[in-house]
C-alpha cells in the first residue's frame, strides 16, 4: 500500500541552539524533536526525561470523587459486600485486578469464614455483552452486594443504574469513555471526559480512573501511598493496551509501571513473559503485542475472569496453570482472527462497488464476536478505510469499529445512532449493536456520513517523520538519549527518521517462512564502511525493486537488537521509496 511521507515542520534554528545549550549540548536533531513536542524549556525537558510521581494530580479534582470516597468508606465501615465490576478487555480486567488486589490489603475477600467483603465480576462477552449488564446487577442483588464499583464501563448505563437503585444497590462508576447527553444517577460518576469535570488531564484509561479512586481513598484514610504505587504495573499495561496518549500523567504512570514490570513483575505478568519467552527489557511495544493480546484472549475466547484470576494470583503453581491456559486461548484467537480476516478481505476483493466506497461495513452471522475488533484493524492494514465488522450475537448485529488516522469514527457512528440500540467508544475505536434488519440501512448511512466528512489525505496512510538523519549520526550515545524518549505511545511516538541516498549490500535478503519480511544491510556513500542492519516487516516484495548501486530512501525507528548476549543497533523500517 502506497504511504504518504510527511516530514514534520522543523523548529526554529535559534530555538534549537538555545535549548540544546540549556541541555548540555544535546544533539540538535534530538533537540528539534523535543521542540516539535512542545518541550521548549529546561524545566519541561527535565520533567520529560525524569518523570516524577510528584507530577500526579490531586484525585479530588475529579468531579464526584468526594462522594465516591465517602460511599466506599461507608461500605467498609458497615462491613458491606462490595462487587468490583469491570469490562472483559485489558483495560477492564487490569482495572478490576488493581482495585480488588489493593483493597484486599485492607478489606477481606468474600470466602471461607467471611460472609462479607470483596468479590470481582467480569461480564460474559457473549451472554451479557459489553459493560454493565442486568445479569450482573441481578447477581449482586441475589448475593447481598450493596455497592458496585464499575470500572472501564457504565457512563451510558442510564437504565441499568436505575434498575440497580430499585434493588437497593449503589454504583460508583469509574469510566473514561465519552458520556452521552445524560449522566447515570449513580452515587458517583468518575469520568474526566464529563463536561462538568475540571480534572486537568483528560486521557486516563479506565484503569487510570480506578487508580485515582484508590489514590483518593488512600489519602482520605491517611494510609501510605507507596503501597498503592506497587500496582502501577497493572496501570501501565492498561494505559499501553488501551492506546491512550502516553503524555503527562499517563507517561508518569507508564514510566514507573514499566520499571516495576522489568525489575519485579507480579506473578501473573512474570508468567506470561516466561511463556512468551521474553527475556530482554520490556518496552511499551511488548506490552501492546505480547502481554495485551494474551490478557484479551481470555475475554475473546472464553471469559475475562480468567485474566483477572491470573493477574491477582499469588502462587506460582496456579499462575502457571492460568498462564498456560491463556496462552492456549491466545493461539486459538490467532487462528480465528486470521481466518476471519481472509474472509473479510475476500468480500472486498469480490465486490467492485465496495472497493470504491470510503468506508467498509462487513457483516456475517457466524463470525466470532471475540475477534471482530482485531479483524477490523487487519482490514484497515490492507484496505485503508474506516471499518466496521459485524456479527450476530443474541439475535442482534454486534460490531466493532476501527478508524484511520485523523478521522473520528465515534462521531460518524453517532450520526447513525437512530439505527442503533447502543454504542460507545473513542475517536478511533467503538462498539455498537443494532437489529439485524437495520444493517443495510446503517451501512448506507455510515458510508454517506464518512464520504461527507473524510478527506482524501485521511484515506492514504501517513508516516510522520520527525527528522532527516545521516546514518553517521547514529551511535550508542545518540541512541542512549533516544531511549529516554520512552515510554512512548500515542502523542509521544518513538521518533521516526528518514535517510536519503541509501544503498544495499549483497547481504540483503527476504526472510520469514513466506518470505514476506526483509533484512537489509545499508550504507551511505560518505561512510561506505559504516553499515546498518535493517528489518522490514511486510516489506519483502520491495527487494525485487532494489539493486546494488541504486540509491533509495528509508523511513525507520532506531532500535536495539539483542542476540546471544550481544546488543547492536538496527533500523526498523517503516517504508522504502526509490
What is the grid cell recorded at 53? 510521581
Averaged pLDDT for residues 562-576: 89
Q: What is the pLDDT of residue 90?
A: 92
Averaged pLDDT for residues 25-46: 95
The domain defined by 463-577 folds into OB fold (Dihydrolipoamide Acetyltransferase, E2P) (2.40.50)
Q: Among residues of the chain, what percentage have pLDDT more than 70?
A: 100
Give CA–CA dist 39/49, Å, rounded.
10
Averaged pLDDT for residues 554-566: 89
Q: What is the pLDDT of residue 279?
A: 77
Q: What end-to-end distance do the CA atoms of the chain give, in Å?
A: 15
Quick count: other Cβ atoms within 10 Å of Cβ 317? 8
Judge whether residue 450 has pLDDT over 90: yes
Averaged pLDDT for residues 328-340: 91
The domain defined by 59-327 folds into inorganic pyrophosphatase (n-terminal core) (3.90.1640)
Q: Among residues of the chain, what percentage have pLDDT more than 90?
A: 80
Give CA–CA dist 284/83, Å, rounded.
31
pLDDT in tens, 476-489: 999 999 999 999 98
Of the candidates 133, 210, 219, which has an alpha carbon nearest to the alpha carbon of residue 175?
210
Judge whether residue 96 has pLDDT over 90: yes
Q: What is the pLDDT of residue 478?
A: 95
Give CA–CA dist 287/237, Å, rounded.
6
Q: What is the pLDDT of residue 447?
A: 97
CB-based contacts of 103-109 (< 8 A; 24+ apart in sequence): 103/214, 105/227, 106/76, 106/221, 106/223, 107/76, 107/82
Burial class (CB in 10 A: 0-12, 13-18, 19+), 517: middle
Q: What is the pLDDT of residue 427?
A: 86
Judge whether residue 511 has pLDDT over 80: yes
Averaged pLDDT for residues 45-61: 95
445 within 8 A of 451, measured Cβ to Cβ = no
pLDDT in tens, 414-438: 999 999 998 988 888 899 999 999 9
Burial class (CB in 10 A: 0-12, 13-18, 19+), 109: middle
Helix (H) or strand (E) holding 186: none
Q: Please report the sign of the dihedral spanned by the C-alpha atoms of residue 155, residue 159, residue 164, residue 166.
A: positive
Residue 360 forms beta bridges with which residues?
A: 387
Kindly state the DSSP code that residue 23 receives in the 8-state scheme. T
For 338-459, CATH gives: 3.10.310.30
* Of 100 and 127, more confident: 100
Count of helix runs (H) and strand runs (E) in the chain:
21, 19
Judge whether residue 87 has pLDDT over 80: yes
Quick count: other Cβ atoms within 10 Å of Cβ 364? 14
Judge whether residue 112 has pLDDT over 80: no
Strand, helix or coil for residue 387: strand
Give pTM, 2 decimals: 0.89
Averaged pLDDT for residues 465-485: 95
Give CA–CA dist 247/41, Å, rounded.
17
Kindly state the DSSP code that residue 157 receives in the 8-state scheme. -
Amino acid at each position: 500500500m502506497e504511504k504518504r511521507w510527511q516530514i514534520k515542520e522543523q523548529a526554529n534554528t535559534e530555538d534549537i541552539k538555545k535549548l540544546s545549550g540549556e541541555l548540555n549540548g544535546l544533539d540538535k536533531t534530538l533537540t528539534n524533536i523535543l521542540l516539535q513536542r512542545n518541550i521548549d524549556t529546561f524545566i519541561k525537558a527535565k520533567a520529560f526525561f525524569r518523570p516524577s510521581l510528584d507530577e500526579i494530580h490531586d484525585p479530588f479534582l475529579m468531579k464526584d470523587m468526594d462522594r465516591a470516597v465517602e460511599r466506599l468508606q461507608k461500605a467498609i465501615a458497615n462491613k458491606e459486600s462490595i462487587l468490583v465490576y469491570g469490562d472483559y478487555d485489558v483495560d477492564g480486567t487490569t482495572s478490576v485486578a488493581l482495585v480488588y488486589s489493593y483493597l484486599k490489603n485492607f478489606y477481606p475477600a468474600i470466602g471461607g469464614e467471611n460472609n462479607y467483603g470483596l468479590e470481582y465480576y467480569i461480564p460474559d462477552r457473549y451472554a451479557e455483552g459489553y459493560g454493565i449488564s442486568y445479569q450482573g446487577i441481578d447477581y449482586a442483588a441475589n448475593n447481598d452486594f450493596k455497592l458496585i464499583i464499575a470500572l472501564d464501563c457504565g457512563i451510558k448505563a442510564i437504565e441499568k443504574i436505575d434498575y440497580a437503585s430499585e434493588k437497593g444497590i449503589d454504583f460508583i462508576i469509574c469510566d473514561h469513555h465519552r458520556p452521552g447527553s445524560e449522566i447515570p444517577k449513580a452515587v458517583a460518576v468518575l469520568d474526566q471526559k464529563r463536561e462538568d469535570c475540571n480534572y486537568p488531564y483528560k486521557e486516563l484509561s479506565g484503569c487510570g480512573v480506578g487508580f485515582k479512586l484508590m489514590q483518593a481513598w488512600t489519602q482520605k484514610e491517611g494510609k501510605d501511598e507507596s503501597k498503592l504505587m506497587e500496582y502501577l504495573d497493572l496501570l501501565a499495561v492498561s494505559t499501553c493496551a488501551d492506546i491512550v496518549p502516553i503524555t503527562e500523567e499517563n507517561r508518569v504512570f507508564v514510566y514507573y509501571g514499566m520499571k516495576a514490570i522489568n525489575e519485579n513483575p507480579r506473578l501473573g505478568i512474570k508468567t506470561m513473559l516466561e511463556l512468551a519467552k521474553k527475556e530482554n527489557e520490556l518496552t511499551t511495544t511488548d506490552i501492546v503485542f505480547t502481554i495485551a493480546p494474551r490478557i484479551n484472549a481470555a475475554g475473546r475466547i472464553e471469559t475475562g475472569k480468567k485474566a483477572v484470576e491470573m493477574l491477582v494470583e499469588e502462587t506460582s503453581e496456579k499462575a502457571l496453570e492460568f498462564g498456560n491456559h491463556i496462552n492456549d486461548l491466545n493461539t486459538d484467537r490467532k487462528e480465528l482472527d486470521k481466518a476471519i480476516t481472509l474472509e473479510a478481505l475476500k468480500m472486498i476483493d469480490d465486490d467492485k462497488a465496495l472497493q470504491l466506497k470510503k468506508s467498509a461495513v462487513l457483516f456475517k452471522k457466524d463470525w466470532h464476536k471475540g475477534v471482530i475488533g482485531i479483524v477490523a484493524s487487519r482490514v484497515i492494514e490492507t484496505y485503508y478505510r474506516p471499518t466496521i465488522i459485524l456479527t450476530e450475537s443474541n439475535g442482534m448485529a454486534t460490531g466493532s469499529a476501527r478508524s484511520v488516522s485523523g478521522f473520528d469514527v465515534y462521531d460518524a457512528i453517532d450520526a447513525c445512532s437512530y439505527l442503533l440500540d447502543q454504542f460507545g467508544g473513542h475517536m478511533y475505536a467503538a462498539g455498537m449493536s443494532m437489529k439485524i434488519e437495520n444493517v443495510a440501512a446503517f451501512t448506507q448511512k455510515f458510508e454517506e456520513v464518512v464520504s461527507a466528512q473524510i478527506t482524501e489525505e485521511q484515506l492514504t496512510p501517513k508516516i510522520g517523520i520527525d527528522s532527516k538523519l545521516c546514518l553517521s549520526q547514529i551511535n550508542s550515545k545518540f541512541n542512549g538519549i533516544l531511549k529516554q524518549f520512552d515510554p512512548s505511545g500515542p502523542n509521544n511516538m518513538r521518533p521516526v527518521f528518514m535517510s536519503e541516498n541509501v544503498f544495499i549490500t549483497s547481504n540483503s535478503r527476504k526472510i520469514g517462512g513466506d518470505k514476506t519480511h526483509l533484512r537489509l544491510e545499508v550504507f551511505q556513500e560518505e561512510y561506505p564502511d559504516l553499515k546498518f542492519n535493517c528489518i522490514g516487516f511486510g516489506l519483502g516484495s520491495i527487494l525485487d525493486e532494489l539493486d546494488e548501486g541504486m540509491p533509495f530512501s528509508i523511513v525507520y525507528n532506531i532500535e536495539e537488537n539483542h542476540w546471544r548476549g550481544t546488543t547492536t543497533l538496527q533500523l526498523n523500517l517503516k517504508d522504502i521509496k526509490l
